[in-house]
């Protein structure tokens, strides 16, 4: 059974121009009904698939901290009703700088949240405004100071590069600010312009001035080199951490392990079956009331599909795919199953192979998607 739970809060006080996650503007939404439906879904899910011991919880969004204090308390109590806590659990929540009041931080701390993931994106106020963020750089420092004062010692921020009109100097400035804050973790993502976003519409009209591919590659290389130089290990293509502060929850995804997904639009992976929930909030609430769940689609993965996912998810990790674990899972040696692909990519110096792991080279990390697609037969 899964040892990890993802919980989705789709509400936002502001919609960012690049975001394609399942989210809705908070005002006028049936938030209390939604939280009650999630509690019902948790109860139904854990009855159907009883967990042994939950090791990680991740509350994402949307913006979980868009909930008011009473709603946040209700959510925390719901989680505690179904999850047995111990001292080793990693309990993460996403938050926007500025949304996270002292009172909300106290509630999170009281109920065992021990990892904060802040959507910072940039320390440039003009750029933040241009991508639709509602906070300013000063809010980041205030939120982190308050969190530290209350005892949070595992804080991550998101940074973005490849943004409209963004320069290499701007990326360097954001990195310098991150190092000054001395945080434990950073997720650094390049902008991907997704359909149904404001940026996508601007791009179609020719009004989205993005950096060239060469400049974006230089930004990524700068991220990798600066992080390494400041003691942050790149343990996944987009993630950097001080030793011992890697995201245990996200490693569940990249290790291709099982997890529960609770909430509108949430995904789960249990017993080689991938499930996705209904996305629209009101339809999700109605489905849970009627059925105890809101499953929209179920896909049972074939052995071939499981093998492919093991490779392209595992290669995202800097350590790569464990040959021993692959053999134990699938009773086949990956160097035999993917003989031609591995030979081709090794010759191009995009992957490295030893007796324990198959991993991306530094050049391979720059061209990750080209490598991943080679393992989908």
DSSP 185-234: EEEEEE----TTSHHHHHHHTT---PPPHHHHHHHHHHHHHHHHHTT-EE
Q: Per the domain annotation, does 142 fall within a domain?
A: yes
Distance CA 39, CA 93 (A): 17
Q: Looking at the structure, do residues 124 and 242 belong to the same domain, yes or no?
A: yes
Q: Looking at the structure, do residues 15 and 133 belong to the same domain, yes or no?
A: yes
Q: Per the domain annotation, does 335 fall within a domain?
A: yes
Q: Looking at the structure, do residues 244 and 321 belong to the same domain, yes or no?
A: no
Q: Looking at the structure, do residues 142 and 237 belong to the same domain, yes or no?
A: yes
Q: Per the domain annotation, does 194 fall within a domain?
A: yes
Residue 207 confidence (pLDDT): 82
Distance CA 371, CA 377 (A): 12
Length of the chain, in residues = 377
Residue entry with tokens 């948790």 = 42
Which CATH number does the domain housing residue 149 bear?
Answer: 3.80.30.20
Q: Looking at the structure, do residues 245 and 353 belong to the same domain, yes or no?
A: no
Q: Per the domain annotation, does 337 fall within a domain?
A: yes
Q: Looking at the structure, do residues 202 and 334 belong to the same domain, yes or no?
A: no
Q: Looking at the structure, do residues 242 and 345 belong to the same domain, yes or no?
A: no
Note whether 61 and 21 are within 8 A (CB).
yes
Residue 204 confidence (pLDDT): 86
Residue 107 confidence (pLDDT): 98
Q: Per the domain annotation, does 278 fall within a domain?
A: no
| End residue of a domain, out of 202, 224, 254 | 254
Q: Looking at the structure, do residues 153 and 22 belong to the same domain, yes or no?
A: yes
Q: Looking at the structure, do residues 236 and 156 belong to the same domain, yes or no?
A: yes
Give the containing element (helix H, strand E) for 95: strand 90-95
Distance CA 215, CA 191 (A): 13
Contacts (Cβ under 8 Å, ≥6 apart) of 323:
333, 334, 335, 355, 356, 357, 358
- Tens of each residue's pLDDT in the chain, 377 residues: 899 999 999 998 877 777 777 778 889 999 999 999 999 999 999 999 998 899 999 999 989 999 999 999 999 999 999 999 988 999 999 999 988 999 999 999 999 999 999 999 999 999 999 888 888 999 999 999 999 999 999 999 999 999 999 999 999 999 999 999 999 999 999 988 888 887 878 888 888 888 999 999 999 999 999 999 999 999 999 999 999 999 999 999 999 999 999 999 999 999 999 999 999 999 999 999 999 999 999 999 999 999 999 999 999 999 999 999 999 999 999 999 999 999 999 999 999 999 999 999 999 999 888 999 999 87
The three-state (H, E, C) secondary structure of 325-371, written as one string: HHHHHHCCCHHHHCHHHHHHHHHCCCEEECCCEEEECHHHHHCHHHH
Per-residue tokens: 291? 């059925």
Which CATH number does the domain housing residue 359 bear?
Answer: 1.10.10
The domain total for the chain is 2
Q: Per the domain annotation, does 69 fall within a domain?
A: yes
Q: Hey, what long-range contacts does 174-178 have (CB within 8 A, 24 or more apart)?
A: 174/120, 174/122, 174/123, 174/124, 175/222, 175/223, 175/226, 175/227, 177/123, 177/137
| End residue of a domain, out of 231, 254, 277 | 254
Q: Per the domain annotation, does 297 fall within a domain?
A: no
Nearest CA to 46 out of 108, 4, 93 is that of 4
SS3 category, 302: coil
Q: Per the domain annotation, does 271 fall within a domain?
A: no
Q: Looking at the structure, do residues 106 and 188 belong to the same domain, yes or no?
A: yes
Q: What is residue 259's DSSP assignment?
A: B
| End residue of a domain, out of 217, 239, 254 | 254
Q: Looking at the structure, do residues 328 and 197 belong to the same domain, yes or no?
A: no
Q: Looking at the structure, do residues 135 and 32 belong to the same domain, yes or no?
A: yes
Q: At what angle do helices 137-149 and 102-110 cross, to 10 degrees?
A: 40
Task: Look up the domain containing 357 and give its range.
Answer: 316-374
Residue 134 confidence (pLDDT): 87
């Amino acid at each position: 059974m899964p040892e990890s739970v993802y919980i989705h809060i789709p509400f936002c006080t502001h919609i960012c121009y690049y975001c394609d996650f399942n989210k809705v503007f908070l005002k006028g939404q049936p938030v209390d009904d939604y939280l009650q439906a999630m509690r019902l879904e948790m109860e139904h899910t854990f009855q159907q698939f009883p967990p042994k011991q939950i090791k990680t919880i991740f509350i994402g969004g949307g913006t979980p901290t868009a909930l008011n204090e009473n709603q946040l308390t209700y959510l925390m109590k719901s989680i505690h009703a179904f999850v047995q806590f111990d001292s080793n659990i990693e309990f993460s929540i996403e938050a926007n700088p500025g949304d996270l009041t002292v009172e909300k931080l106290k509630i999170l701390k009281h109920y065992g949240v021990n990892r904060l993931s802040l959507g910072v994106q940039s320390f440039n106020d003009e750029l933040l405004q241009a991508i639709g963020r509602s906070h300013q750089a000063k809010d980041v420092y205030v939120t982190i100071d308050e969190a530290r004062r209350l005892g949070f010692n595992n804080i991550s921020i998101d940074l973005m590069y490849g943004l409209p009109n963004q320069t290499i100097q701007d990326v360097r400035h954001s990195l310098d600010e991150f190092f000054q804050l001395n945080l434990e973790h950073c997720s650094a993502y390049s902008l991907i312009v997704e359909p149904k976003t404001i940026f996508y519409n601007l791009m179609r009209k020719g009004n989205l001035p993005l950096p060239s591919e060469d400049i974006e590659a230089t930004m990524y290389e700068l991220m990798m080199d600066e992080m390494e130089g400041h003691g942050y290990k790149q343990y996944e293509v987009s993630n950097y951490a001080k030793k011992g502060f890697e995201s245990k929850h996200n490693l569940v995804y990249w290790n291709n392990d099982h997890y529960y997904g609770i909430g509108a639009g949430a995904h789960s992976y249990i017993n080689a079956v991938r499930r996705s929930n209904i996305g629209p909030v009101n339809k999700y609430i109605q489905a849970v009331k009627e059925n105890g769940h809101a499953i929209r689609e179920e896909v049972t993965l074939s052995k071939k599909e499981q093998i492919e996912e093991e490779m392209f998810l595992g290669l995202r990790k800097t350590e790569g795919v464990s040959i021993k674990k692959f053999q134990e899972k699938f009773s086949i040696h990956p160097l035999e199953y993917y003989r031609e692909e591995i030979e081709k990519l090794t010759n191009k110096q995009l992957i490295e192979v030893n007796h324990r792991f198959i991993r991306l080279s530094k050049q391979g990390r720059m061209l990750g998607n080209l490598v991943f697609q080679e393992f989908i037969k």
